[in-house]
């Protein structure tokens, strides 16, 4: 995990931190809407409830296991963003859930209209925040790193960028586990499966283009 601290590094680091906290906040909102969460969170909510653990604690534990796998196969995918996601998303989700329930006193059963009003911006924010953090250059969470690892291995052999397809299949597998474990699976989970991979790919292309323009301007 080598890096040189520069102004650009500090700027992108804080962008990454904000992105993962926003992801955690959005997860808490999506779960509150009771229409599903992202595939990883849906799976981990289900398993954590089965084990009687908090979401944040189980999220951290499962990411540690996946982190070991990623370190074995491709260390370059690991960075400060890996630790940021491992620690902040789960605990941010727990924190904001507490805020909504204990501070804002939002009732458990919301009517459909309110759920949709909350759900749409939360979904858009989550997808954009996830794409920004993954393309920040600070590494990715072990769950996300596995999808990059698989797609890179396929690209080496086929010469084709298969990230979108790999990510969709990967998230579908997590969704299946979430269904079996009784996690927060719903229509939003399916939308995430369809939209997250392409959005990450698109944001990555935009950020690479922007970095190229900035280098030319130096």
- Tell me the pTM: 0.74
Which residues lie closer than 8 Å to 147 by C-beta, 6 or more apart? 163, 166, 167, 170, 197
Which residues lie closer than 8 Å to 194 by C-beta, 6 or more apart? 168
What residue has token string 């909350």? 118
The pLDDT of residue 218 is above 70: no
From the CB of residue 17, how many other CB atoms can be counted at a distance below 10 Å? Answer: 18
> What tens digit of pLDDT does each residue of 148-161 get?
888 888 888 887 77
Average pLDDT value over all residues in the chain? 84
């Amino acid at each position: 995990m080598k890096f040189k601290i520069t102004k650009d590094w500090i700027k992108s680091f804080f962008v990454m931190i904000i992105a993962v906290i926003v992801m955690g906040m959005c997860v808490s909102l999506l779960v509150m809407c009771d229409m599903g969460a992202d595939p990883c969170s849906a799976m981990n909510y289900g398993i954590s409830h089965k084990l009687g653990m908090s979401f944040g604690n189980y999220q951290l534990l499962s990411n540690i296991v996946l982190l070991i796998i990623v370190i074995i196969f491709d260390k370059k995918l690991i960075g400060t963003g890996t630790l940021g996601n491992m620690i902040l998303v789960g605990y941010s989700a727990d924190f904001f859930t507490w805020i909504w329930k204990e501070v804002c006193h939002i009732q458990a059963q919301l009517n459909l209209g309110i759920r949709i009003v909350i759900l749409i911006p939360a979904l858009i924010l989550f997808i954009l925040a996830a794409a920004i953090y993954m393309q920040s250059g600070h590494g990715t969470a072990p769950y996300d790193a596995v999808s990059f690892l698989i797609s890179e291995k396929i690209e080496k052999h086929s010469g084709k960028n298969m990230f979108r397809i790999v990510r969709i299949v990967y998230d579908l597998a997590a969704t299946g586990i979430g269904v079996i474990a009784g996690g927060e699976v719903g229509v939003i989970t399916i939308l995430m499966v369809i939209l997250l991979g392409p959005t990450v790919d698109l944001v990555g292309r935009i950020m690479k283009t922007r970095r190229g323009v900035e280098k030319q301007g130096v």
